[in-house]
Amino acid sequence: MLNIRAMEEKDIPQVEEIEKKIFSLPWSEKSFHDACSDENNIYLVCEDEGTITGYCGLWTVFGEGNITNMAVHPDYRKKGIGMMLMEEMEKRGIQKKVDVFFLEVRESNVENVYGRKYMLDVCLLGTSGMLPLPDRWLTSLMTRYNGSSLLIDCGEGTQIAIKEKGWSFNPIDVICFTHYHADHISGLPGLLLTIGNSDRTKPVTLVGPKGLSRVVGALRVIAPELPFELKFIELTKPQEHISINGYEIEAFKVSHTVACYGYSISIPRIGKFDVEKARELMIPQKAWNKLQHGNTVEIDGTVYTPDMVMGKPRKGLKVTYCTDTRPVTAIIENAKHSDLFICEGMYGEEDKDSKAKENKHMTFSEAAALAKDAEVAEMWLTHFSPSLVRPQEYIRGIQKIFENVTAGTDGKTVELQFEEG
């Protein structure tokens, strides 16, 4: 489990090994010893069960912070470690009265620093409906973005699926529930306890239909003590919008036997930072970061605004997830142009159409029709009936409706990246 903490003397040999792997002129052990012993400096490491996976160093002088070291082990990249280190470094720097942070980079790398490329990791943790099977955990989805993880649904065994995937519990900031049938929420008590054992103290936000706090309260009879606060957002309208930790979440009501919601998760992308324009306007470099994050800056009586250096917003990323529902217009509207559409396919057999209607679920062909109408880039099917042993056998038939469709499998993962430019 990833843990950000202060660098200790025992960490330095591992830190130096990472330093040697990455830099042509690495710091020596003595350099790190000397830097860590200075009370004006802040040195952090990211630890994963005894292994140092990354580190960061900051020297502070008269309200200014100079980031001297920043590295992540090559085997642990693309897990949000760098961002986690930087966010913690910023918090600790502010506690030391630092109000300006500097990072020296090569001229060729300036644009990458001020126009950072983030990705959205998406993992289908489980694909079974109703009950877990020996080779299928219950349907659940997990995403990672910018050091923050989001989970949708948490049935029995979900935390085992997360452990099998190798993703961390500590960064789970948001848990959304489609509805409160046991196969979508019964794994919550164990998961909360595991998150607590990962040294998390920050609040966790839970999102779900009306009655969420009552349902969670009942489940927590067996998990009464947690080292973090639970915050509740109860959905009562047909459509609700939530902004949290960089995620723009659109919750929309679907049609099941109980109150049930689908979710569209979007990552907006700001315009491109115009380095040449910033130089032309002689904007001080210490204002660049704040402008890039949409903040107005005043320096020596001169006001600088983001529109001076930022281009038009660019295409972001979008994932839509829905399960336990009949086909409804709200799904098409909210899934429109999604990069990935994850949809229930309870039944692959066409002769199960009447059963799908009776139980308020969908067939593969109904889900494919939604994907076509929503003009999504790709669709994964999930939430398979326990009787559906080989869902992939039915895929070819529905590719006549929507070509880019696959039968989801436990642990199926994709890394969605912003388009170039």
Q: Evaluate whether 303 touches 295 at the Cβ level (below 8 Å).
A: no
Tally of CA atoms within 13 A in the half-sphere of 148 that contains its CB: 17
The CA–CA distances, whole Å, from 218 to 39, 182, 186, 213, 223 equal 48, 13, 11, 9, 10
Cβ-count burial of 360 within 10 angstroms (0-12 exposed, 13-18 middle, 19+ buried)? middle
- 311 contact partners, CB below 8 Å, separation of at least 6: 271, 272, 273, 274
CA separation for the pair 21, 71 (Å, rounded)? 10
Active site residue 183: yes
Nearest Cα residue to 23 out of 74, 64, 61, 77: 74
- Identify the three-state secondary structure at position 317: strand
Q: Catalytic residue, from 11, 153, 173, 183: name it.
A: 183
HEC assignment per residue over 28-63: CHHHHHHHHHCCCEEEEEEEECCEEEEEEEEEEECC
CA separation for the pair 139, 368 (Å, rounded)? 19
Catalytic residue list: 183
